[in-house]
Amino acid sequence: MTRIEKVKKLLRKNFDALLISSIPNIIYLTGFAGFSTLEREAYLLIAKKRNYIFTDGRYFEVAKKNKAFRLIGISLNNSFGQALKEIITKEKIKKLAIDEDNIKVTELIRIKRVAKVCSDENLVEGLRKTKDETEIENVKKACKLGDLTFKYILSEIRIGTTEKILAHKIEVFILKHGERISFRPIVAFGENSSSPHHVSTERKLKKNEIVLLDFGVKINNYCSDMTRTVFAGHVDDKQKKIYKTVLEAQTKAIESLKSLIKNHQSVTGFELDKIARMYVESKGYSSIPHSLGHGIGLEVHEKPSLSPKSKDVLINGMIFSIEPGIYIPGFGGVRIEDLVLLTAKGPQIITRANREIIEL
């Protein structure tokens, strides 16, 4: 069954048609990744029979090439609202599902003028939770280049270099391999590493300091994501204790996942998060100030979620990060992040870089 057929099958149950606005969902269903992620340049409409793509003159040529969608041209003389109204009438759509997490208030006002709307219940995001073979291959390729990038960047870490220089080198390395970053690399030295999403600065690296590296690669629109924390010299006892706790929290989560899957028990994102979180707390550290992990694919962060509020059941075909962290303001932080693919045989760690303490 094609992805579009899967959508059609699901939409029959609850609504007559689905309006798709999010860029990852558009890429998922059309394969075309050329629309801006910052501006609204296209919508898809999946009705019971036909499928439509609404876009403007800049994209007519490319849209025409995709035979699965009928092109509806948007222009000054044919606004999206007008065009949508026509299709709503033609297709006899009573209830139009929209993505409430993506549609903006101004857009809702326009859509409501021409259609009765309801929530799409994250239908496409639901399908995207589990990956098919091609998707898995792409994420694995991205992880592989990520591992290579880590190996390369280790050789570039030296006293006196800056966070910005390293972040830049990561990006250039990935680009030189013909691929792109999946997000701006996070490079944090010393006490800066206590900020989980630190923005790289001109700060210079000093001896024995923590170096936190969080980066990802995007290949064929699919993302990787990994974090390693290494030491620019000797690791001291305080640093070592933090590191070992984080690594153990990650290992515990992965091992629990293994044994639960082996015993055919279902496991939720909430449960896995709790295992790592409680371990960190049990060692006297503050709780992890973020989720234990997140799904990854066309987006760096997508479903399933591994967090204290997650209800996602972890099943075969899912790829997600497991990334505990401990952060001590004024001192620094450690995070170790790997991607895990869940298979019938159990979890497979698809980021391969060394997880043991590295002293440079």
Which positions lie near a second copy, rule CB under 8 A? 32-34, 36-39, 41, 56-62, 75-76, 98, 100-106, 108-109, 168, 171-172, 175-176, 178, 183, 194-199, 289-290, 299-301, 307-309, 329
CB nearer a second copy, residue 8 or residue 169:
169
Instruction: Kindly report whether the peptide bond that precedes residue 185 is cis, defined as omega within 30 degrees of 0.
Output: no
d(CA 11, CA 164): 47
Distance CA 122, CA 47 (A): 16
CB of 16 to a second copy, least distance (A): 19
Q: What's the sign of the alpha-carbon dihedral 239, 242, 244, 246?
A: negative
Whichever of 118 and 315 has its CB closer to a second copy, that residue is 118
Residue whose tokens read 């090439």: 65
Per-position b or e across 206-243, b if 16+ CB within 10 A of its CB: eebbbbbbbbbbbbebbbbbbbbbbbbeebeeebebbb
Choose between 135 and 299: whose C-beta lies nearer to a second copy.
Answer: 299
Our CB check for a second copy shows the closer of 172 and 315 to be 172
For residue 247, the minimal CB distance to a second copy (Å) is 21
Q: How far is the CB of 5 from a second copy (least distance, A)?
A: 26
| Run of H or E including 213 | strand 210-215
Nearer of residues 190 and 347 to a second copy, judged by Cβ: 190
The two tokens of residue 16 are: 């007559």
- DSSP string computed for 35-86: S-SSS--EEEEEESS-EEEEEEGGGHHHHHH-TTSEEEEEBTTB-HHHHHHH
The residue among 61 and 356 lying less far from a second copy, judged by its C-beta, is 61
Shortest Cβ distance from residue 10 to a second copy (Å)?
20
Residue 117: in which H helix or E strand, if any? Answer: strand 117-119
Cβ 49 to a second copy shortest distance, Å: 27
Alpha helices in 155-282 (DSSP H): 163-176, 237-262, 269-282
- DSSP-assigned beta bridge partners for residue 319: 341
Q: What is the CA radius of gyration of the chain?
A: 23
Count other C-beta atoms under 10 Å from residue 147's C-beta: 17
Q: Please state the closest distance from residue 356 (CB atom) to a second copy, in A.
A: 26
Of 192 and 342, nearer to a second copy (C-beta) is: 192
Measured from the CB atom, is 188 or 261 closer to a second copy?
188
Nearest residue (CB) to a second copy, 176 versus 264: 176
19: three-class secondary structure by DSSP: strand
Q: Find the shortest distance in angstroms from Cβ 347 to a second copy.
A: 25
> Rounded distance, CA 189 to CA 193, Å?
6
The residue among 288, 318, 316 whose CA lies nearest residue 303 is: 318
CB of 264 to a second copy, least distance (A): 30
Q: In the complex, what is the shortest distance from the CB of residue 9 to a second copy, in angstroms, rounded to a whole number?
A: 25
Q: Are strands 226-231 and 210-215 parallel, antiparallel or unpaired?
A: antiparallel
- H helices present in 263-290, as ranges: 269-282
